[in-house]
Amino acid sequence: MSDKDKGEMSKLACVTFTRRLSGPIEKVWAHLTEPHLLPAWFGGNSRIEPRQGGAVHLMGGHVRGVVTQWQPPHKLIYTWNVFSPGDGPDAVSTYPESYPTFELQAEGSKVLLTFRHFPILDRFIPQNAMGWHTMLDILETALAGRLVEERTVYMKKNAELYGVDLANPVR
């Protein structure tokens, strides 16, 4: 075998968050998967069909995908495809498919959440980190039983943290 036949190694951008959330684990799983709880952090018209191969429809169809791993209450992975408003059901996303991964581990009254999202286009790394930080802040607030503020409150705080200009986001 010659060197020209060898595979090439790549590195993919990935955002990772670790959070200790108010439990029990079944409550956290419910917030990640149940249609009546998803809108609190993913916005209206959000649902995940509860099975491997199930449809994912988030943020009013802005994000669509398929559940690739459904292991209640420990692991949820699905594809993440971004669409523009008005894109029909057969549209193909102009962005690469990516994979949000939620792993849960009970720790007494708390739940350790390890979240990863990959791959991320280089030009979207700060926006992706800011967006997931915002979503996880909302999730954490809801699980703790505190009043969830408007999404913009969290976004403004996290935009500063990641250096994202909300008036001129990169597309």
pLDDT for position 45: 86
Under CATH, domain 16-162 is a member of which superfamily?
A: START domain (3.30.530.20)
78-120 confidence digits (pLDDT tens): 999 999 888 988 999 999 999 999 999 999 999 999 999 999 9
Residues in the chain: 171
Three-class SS state of 126: helix
Give the residue extent of every domain in the chain.
Answer: 16-162
What DSSP state is assigned to residue 51? Answer: S
pLDDT for position 1: 62
pTM score, two decimals?
A: 0.91
Which residues of the chain, if any, have pLDDT below 70?
1, 169-171
8 A C-beta contact, residue 30 and residue 41: no
